[in-house]
Every structure is written in C-alpha cells, then in structure tokens.
Amino acid sequence: MVGDCIAEATGSDGQSVRVGLQRAQLGPDVKLKLEPDAGGNLKVRIAGSPQPAEASVWLALFDPLHETKIRRGEKRGCKMHNVNVVREVRKISKWNGCRMTLTIPAEELKKHAGKGCAVFLQNDHKGPILGAATIAQLTN
C-alpha cells in the first residue's frame, strides 16, 4: 500500500499500515474548491501555501458508475460494477504555491454532463497529491 506517495506498507502488516497512515497525514493539505457557475463553467479555487511549491493542476473526468456484463468464464452472466472509472485526465495549469482561481469553460465540460469531475494538485517531482476536490455529477 502507498499513502499519499509519502509512506508505503505491506497491507497484511497492520502495524506498518497504521504507521504509514500516520506519516501520510503529516503531508501537505492544500484546500481546493470546485464551484459550478450559472453559465456552466467550473471555477477551481486553490488556496495558497506558506511554503513555495511547484505543482501541476490536473483535471480527471470519470463515470460515477460503470457496469460490465461478464461474457465468459465461471462468472459468465454476472455483472461487474465499477465506481469512478476515469475516462480522461489532463493537466490544466501549473501552481507555484500562491492562491489562484481557474475557470474550466462550459464547452469543455458539456460532453461530460452527468459524469463526475475531480481536480487534484500534484507535486511536480512526481510526489504526493497536495490537495483534491470532486464533483459527483456535472450539470450542463
């Protein structure tokens, strides 16, 4: 198991998992807020950080629920239910530690109406996720 790209542990080692989770909680926590506006645009508000940072802002669009019919094998005829199946991920901005607001235009979100959306902030050195926010269902 990996916790916030800060700590790792073997899932069957309960003590190691507890220590790893405690270490992960000590990591950065930048607040993000997603706010749809009346025009269908999505405002992304990112809080500032007291420490300078180099990070990227990522947009992930996902299906809240996806159902797959199993056609072969011993589970043939059953259905598999998956939640939050990511369909698209893309970098939408850079962040330098200062408070910022981004706008994702309604036109970019229109084809994803009824789907979920997440925005997350990740350290540019392929490190931890610094903050994240989601909307379970986009409207347009």
Q: What is the pLDDT of residues 59-90, one digit of tens each?
A: 999 998 889 999 999 999 999 999 999 999 99
Rounded CA separation 134/136 (Å): 6
Question: Between residues 30 and 21, which one has the greater pLDDT?
Answer: 30
Least confident segment among 50-64, 65-79, 90-104: 50-64
User: What is the length of the chain?
Assistant: 140
Q: What CATH class is the domain 31-135?
A: mainly beta
How far is the C-alpha of 132 from the C-alpha of 9, rounded, in Å? 23
Gyration radius (Cα) of the chain, Å: 18
Residues carrying CATH 2.60.40.10, the chain: 31-135
Q: Is the dihedral of CA 72, 64, 102, 56 positive or negative?
A: negative
56 pLDDT higher than 80: yes
Give the pLDDT of residue 100. 95
Buried/exposed code over 109-119 (b: 16+ C-beta within 10 A; e: otherwise): beebeebbbbb
Residue 65 to residue 45: CA distance in whole angstroms: 27
Close Cβ partners of 95 (under 8 Å, ≥ 6 residues apart):
46, 53, 54, 55, 56, 57, 121
